[in-house]
Amino acid sequence: MLTRALFHIRPLIIGLLMLSLSPVTSLAQTGPRATEFTLPNGLHIVVVPDNRAPVVTHMVWYRVGAADEPPGTSGIAHFLEHLMFKATEKIGTGEFSKIVSRLGGQDNAFTAQDITAYFQRVSKDRLPKVMEMEADRMVNLKLDEKEVLTERDVILEERRSRVENNPSAILDEQLGAALYLAHPYRIPVIGWEHEMAKLSRADAMAFYKRFYAPNNAILVVTGDVTPEEVRKLAEATYGKIPRNPNVKTVERPAEPPHRAARRIELKDPRAGRRTWHRQYIAPSYTTAAPGEAEALDLLLKILASGPTSRVYRKLVVEEKVASSAGGWYSGSGRDSGKIAFFSVPNDGVEFSKIEQLIDGVIAEVAAKGVTQEELERAKKAYLAEYIYQTDNQASLARRYGWALTVGSTVKDIEEWPERLSQVTADQVKAAVRHLDILRSVTGTLLPEAPDQPPGSRS
């Protein structure tokens, strides 16, 4: 199963980048595209019709992720995601995905800090069956002790292959642990290995019974359906499940004031190139003031996204000190977002030079702002990507599901193009204040032997 997913899936289509701004923003003025309603048991349902082909995407989103795990059980959210493909009273072990495949469909799942989601893509006439199956495993999961231990070995191997064998992934994990002082975003989604090795059937069932319920879930269906069809099917399947009165949002620790920037150096002979990284805590779409997250998206597009960005031009084209440089903003978190920069220095170039130049680019925008031309180009790029995603059922389901699960509304989602189009250059300039060095961690990766092997003591 997938362990991570990003709210912004941003493949660019060159032709779309040439679209004028006004036709794109009109998307937000044609009325709601999605229909939403809630069953008596608390299940929130969103339907986004797309009748071009007799296919549907069915996604169940739970308002729980790795940031909600009890202390000492890191990785349990992701582990349960795996175990959800085992058995119920009606479906044998490992049969869920096989049945979907026999129906001619595809299925998978993913876990992140704030969400866990399960999805199937099937022909329209198969929707009743997958809804019946997903409703069944929402409350009727059956776990065998031996199968749990076997699957625990699977997630441990996943960690070894994805993290332990990847120096860049190790550095990213260490950066996250240093960026947050108290908030559970500091713990990796896949979990710490020593805690994963102790996860049990009891841990999984306790987490399942605490969080998996219709009143802690959102169902998103996109494709060749009407809201009436989905409501009828949902009432016949999910509607039979009683609400869980014990479900409630986990109160997560808040971040204390940050009084010092953090720095990390990782040496690993398996690393191919020296790399420089920096991450900042920033507001997310859920926590930002009106227009602020949109301004951050545009700021990072201008600063660090692609070969036309200021950071790339300064480091790669003009100064020729790096072979690559860029950055991004992720505003998908329930409690906060993140800004990141990276660079791959050329041979002989010190990390301090890279840092000086990137800080200089940021300082220039803080002092002088961005040009109107840069702002319009960034808007067109994002709005073109929005159109591209709108043309894809799975992207649509993910857009609505993720945003709703972390606290946004359908109105927020559908008015995003209009809000983005209204961001001014002054707002983008003001957003630079979130690049606060005290709320950052800077990391370097060097292809060298470490001073001490992992686990050793001086």
Give me the active site residues, please.
81
Residue 82 token pair: 């795996």
Q: For residue 237, give the DSSP letter.
A: T
What number of H helices and E strands is found in the chain?
17, 13
| Interatomic CA distance for residues 112 and 115, integer angstroms | 5
Name the residue among 189, 198, 221 with its Cα closest to residue 119.
Answer: 221
Torsion of CA 96, 208, 60, 133, to 10 degrees: 30
**Contact present, 328 and 300 (Cβ < 8 Å):** yes
**Contact present, 201 and 147 (Cβ < 8 Å):** no
Phi-psi region of 369 (alpha: psi -120 to 50; beta: other; left: phi over 0): left
**Pairing outcome for strands 116-123 and 106-111:** antiparallel
**Pairing outcome for strands 44-49 and 35-38:** antiparallel
**Pairing outcome for strands 322-330 and 141-142:** unpaired
Name the residue among 362, 349, 274 with its Cα closest to residue 319.
Answer: 349
Which residues lie closer than 8 Å to 112 by C-beta, 6 or more apart? Answer: 4, 5, 65, 66, 189
**Contact present, 386 and 16 (Cβ < 8 Å):** no
Angle between helices 76-83 and 145-159 (to 10 degrees): 120
| Interatomic CA distance for residues 311 and 362, integer angstroms | 9
With H, G, I as helix, E, B as strand and everything else as coil, classify residue 428: helix
Find tokens 């319920």 and name the residue: 213
| Interatomic CA distance for residues 201 and 148, integer angstroms | 6
Instruction: Give 334: exposed, middle or buried? Use CB within 10 Å, 0-12, 13-18, 19+.
Output: buried
Which residues lie closer than 8 Å to 416 by C-beta, 6 or more apart? Answer: 28, 294, 386
List strand residue ranges (DSSP E) for 30-98, in order: 35-38, 44-49, 55-62, 87-88
